[in-house]
Amino acid sequence: MADLCKISFPGSDFVSITLECHQSLSEHLTIQNSPVLFGCRTGICGTCLVEVIGDIPPPQPDEQEMLETLAPNNPHARLACQINVTGNVQIRRV
C-alpha cells in the first residue's frame, strides 16, 4: 500500500482529503473539495497562494521568486499548484 498524505483545510467547511504521497495538489483539488482556487497551474499567476503547515519540500527557485513578490513576510506561503505532497499538511487561503 502506498504512503498516504492527509490534506486538511482548517477554518473552512471543506472536508479533508487523502492523497498518495508525492502527488501534485493541483491535479486533485477542485472547487468541490477545496477552498483553493487555481488559475494557470504553472506557478506564474499567484491565484493559488496559500499558507501551508506541514512538512513539504522547499519551493523551487521560480516559486520562491513569486513568493517573495506575493507574500514576502510569510514563511508558510506557497503556491498550491507547485506543492509536492510528502506528508500531512494543513492549507489555508491567504
Helix (H, G, I), strand (E, B) or coil at 79: strand
Q: Please tell me the predicted confidence (pLDDT) of residue 2.
A: 64
The pLDDT value given to residue 92 = 94
Residues of the chain with pLDDT under 50: none
- What pLDDT shows up at residue 49? 96
Beta bridge partners of 90: 8, 53
Q: What is 4-93's CATH superfamily?
A: Beta-grasp domain (3.10.20.30)
> In the prediction, which pLDDT does 53 show?
96
Which residues share a beta bridge with 19? Answer: 5
pTM value > 0.85: yes
The whole-number pLDDT of residue 63 equals 96
Q: What are the residue ranges spanned by the domains of the chain? A: 4-93
- For 91, the 3-state DSSP assignment is strand
> Could you please report the per-residue DSSP string of 20-49?
ETTEEGGGT--TTT-S---SSSSSSS-TTE
What's the confidence (pLDDT) of residue 72? Answer: 96
